[in-house]
Amino acid sequence: MKKIEIIWRELLHQVIEKGNRRFTQKEIASKFSYSTSTVFQALKVPRKMGAIKVSGRLFTIEDWEKLLYYWASIRNMEQEVKLLKHVNLPIFEIEGKMPPNIVFGGFIAARQILKGDVPADYDMVLVYASTLDEITKRFEFTKGRNNLMVLAADPYLITYGQITTIAQTFVDLWNLPYWYAKEYTRSLKEKIDELLP
């Protein structure tokens, strides 16, 4: 994931899940050991579209929805795919056999965020991992429709827990080609609207 996306994920996480809307560029830069110019670049387009307002050293998220949809529209998951295979096991069994050092994303993350109240069944397991070693040891890959996708985990992802943030889950599902992914993004948007006044 690009540095600017890591910054957007943090900002959206802070707004949606923590209720924080005000930040300094220095604070975000130090959190990720990035330069303030990297943070400045990450704010450039959101600032132009009115999603972020900068005043002095502070900046405020004015329209989280614009930032969320902008990120969703430019996300390129294909560059991060490390493994895309078919495993001849039921979906819940694939989930259960995952090693502990992965982060669940996509439909699994959405299921947990939505507390099991999901809009449709799903047949794709999406996880983030820094290496494939443990995953390839646990599964036998066969011919068939791909139902396991492993994406490269950035070094900060695990700090959010065992599932992707609400914003990242939304953005990833937005970029999946399955018909039911749209139902999941709709449910996640409703969840965000509940969380935010």
SS (H, E, C) 138-161: HCCEECCCCCEEEEECCCCHHHHC
Predicted confidence (pLDDT) at residue 197 exceeds the cutoff of 80: no
Same structural domain, 81 and 67: no
Residue at which a domain ends, from 74, 91, 124:
74
Rounded to 5 degrees, what are φ and ψ at 11? -60, -45
CATH number at residue 66: 1.10.10.10
pLDDT of 56 reads 82
Predicted confidence (pLDDT) at residue 11 exceeds the cutoff of 90: yes
Same structural domain, 88 and 184: yes
pLDDT tens track for 131-186: 999 999 999 999 999 999 999 999 999 999 999 999 999 999 999 999 999 999 99
Same structural domain, 69 and 88: no
Same structural domain, 92 and 146: yes
Instruction: Report the 10 Å Cβ neighbour count for 113.
Output: 22
Predicted confidence (pLDDT) at residue 57 exceeds the cutoff of 90: no
- Helix residue ranges per DSSP H, 22-175: 25-32, 36-48, 64-74, 91-96, 106-113, 133-138, 166-174
pLDDT tens track for 88-143: 999 999 999 999 999 999 999 999 999 989 999 999 999 999 999 999 999 999 99
Same structural domain, 172 and 117: yes
Task: Tell me the Cα Rg of the chain.
Answer: 17
Same structural domain, 132 and 176: yes
Predicted confidence (pLDDT) at residue 73 exceeds the cutoff of 90: yes
Same structural domain, 160 and 92: yes
Q: For the packed helices 179-195 and 166-174, what is the interaxial angle rounded to 10 degrees?
A: 150
pLDDT tens track for 17-46: 999 999 999 999 999 999 999 999 999 999
Same structural domain, 89 and 186: yes
Same structural domain, 86 and 172: yes
What pTM, to 2 d.p., does this model score?
A: 0.96
Same structural domain, 86 and 166: yes
Residues 6+ apart with CB under 8 A from 115: none
Q: Closest by alpha carbon to 186, among 163, 165, 169?
A: 169
Instruction: Report the 10 Å Cβ neighbour count for 128.
Output: 25
Same structural domain, 24 and 118: no
Domains identified in the chain, total number:
2
Same structural domain, 91 and 107: yes
pLDDT of 118 reads 94
Domain of 30 in residue numbering reads as: 3-74
